[in-house]
Amino acid sequence: MKWKTGITRVERDLIQVRGYDISDLIRKYSFGGACFLLFTGRVPTNEQGRMMDALLVSNIDHSLLSPSTAATRIAASGGTPLQAAVASGLLAVGSHHGGSVEETAHLFYEAVGRARREDMDIKLIAIRLLKDSKNNKRRIPGFGHSLHQHDPRVDGVLNLADELKISGDYVVFAREIERNSELHFGKHLQMNPDGAIAAVAMEMGFDWRMVRGFFIISRSAGLVAHAFEEYTRERPHRSFDLSEIEYDGPKNLKS
């Protein structure tokens, strides 16, 4: 069986990513820019390269509040090597952590696509989503955060997107949801980083199914830093202690 791939061509003394020599990429592009090329096959403009870096930087770490980081710290304390500690953390990514950006990107993709096909106003589409969600008691992904009210990553990402002239329909749509939420959804919805990143990723032409990957790449850096801190600062075999665990099952049975 042949394993076909259109990503990287490797022959003796030749490595080309999407057709471009690796030595050119090393010289010319930031890691964000190279990721843009790797994922889209298109050479990034300066603006696209900078924006991609910003998306990756925004999720680089969120301390042990993040399940992925907690898992990595605990795994590292078991004495597992770096790749395993990082993988342990990445595996905490899922529908409730890091995966929501995918759901958000999908929502934005469908909504803006529909607005374009039906030549409708973006604001009206946003309001319709708010009303429908209210009626069906559905939450809207990309808004709200358990800790932050004004998450600094949101303005960080969106202001740069504005400045680099990357903001377009998707960013407008996300902002219209926020702006009209009180009136049409019945409570204020504050955009979170998933919302901001999803909107900008859609502006840049990414497939919505790939956006979860940004979180994975980005967070792997934070996980490396946390595993290293665990190895070098802490005693081994850390987990929960007896006082943090409450057993509420049956006791003292006889078989």
Does residue 79 interact with a copy of itself by CB under 8 A? yes
Asked if residue 43 lies in contact with residue 25, where contact means CB atoms within 8 angstroms, the answer is no
Taking the least distance from each CB to a copy of itself, the nearer of 118 and 229 is 229
Residues 185 to 204: which contact a copy of itself by CB under 8 A? Answer: none
Pick the binder of a copy of itself from 110, 139, 162, 228 (CB under 8 A).
228
Pick the binder of a copy of itself from 87, 134, 179, 184 (CB under 8 A).
87
Cα 9 from Cα 15, distance rounded (Å)? 6
Does residue 28 interact with a copy of itself by CB under 8 A? yes
Per-residue string for binding with a copy of itself, 52-71, x by CB under 8 A?
A: -xx-xxx-xxxxxxxxxxxx
- 10 Å CB burial of residue 87 (0-12, 13-18, 19+) is middle
Residues 29 to 48: which contact a copy of itself by CB under 8 A? Answer: 29-32, 34-35, 37-39, 41, 43
Does residue 178 interact with a copy of itself by CB under 8 A? no
Pick the binder of a copy of itself from 48, 74, 130, 171 (CB under 8 A).
74
Q: How many CA atoms lie within 13 A of 111 on its CB side?
A: 30
Distance (Å) of CA 215 to CA 31, 35, 81, 220, 225: 14, 13, 22, 8, 16
Per-residue string for binding with a copy of itself, 116-135, x by CB under 8 A?
A: --------------------
Question: Buried b vs exposed e over 165-188: b needs ≥16 C-beta within 10 Å?
Answer: ebbbbbbbbbbbbbbbbeebbeee
Residues 137 to 166: which contact a copy of itself by CB under 8 A? Answer: 146-153, 155-157, 159-160
Non-local CB neighbours of 14 within 8 Å, separated by 6+ positions: 21
Does residue 89 interact with a copy of itself by CB under 8 A? yes
Site of tokens 């830093």: 225
Cα 209 from Cα 162, distance rounded (Å)? 24
Taking the least distance from each CB to a copy of itself, the nearer of 107 and 125 is 107
Cα 70 from Cα 146, distance rounded (Å)? 17
Taking the least distance from each CB to a copy of itself, the nearer of 168 and 213 is 213
Pick the binder of a copy of itself from 11, 119, 135, 165 (CB under 8 A).
11
**Applying CB under 8 A, which part among 108-116, 127-135, 172-180, 243-251 lies near a copy of itself?**
243-251
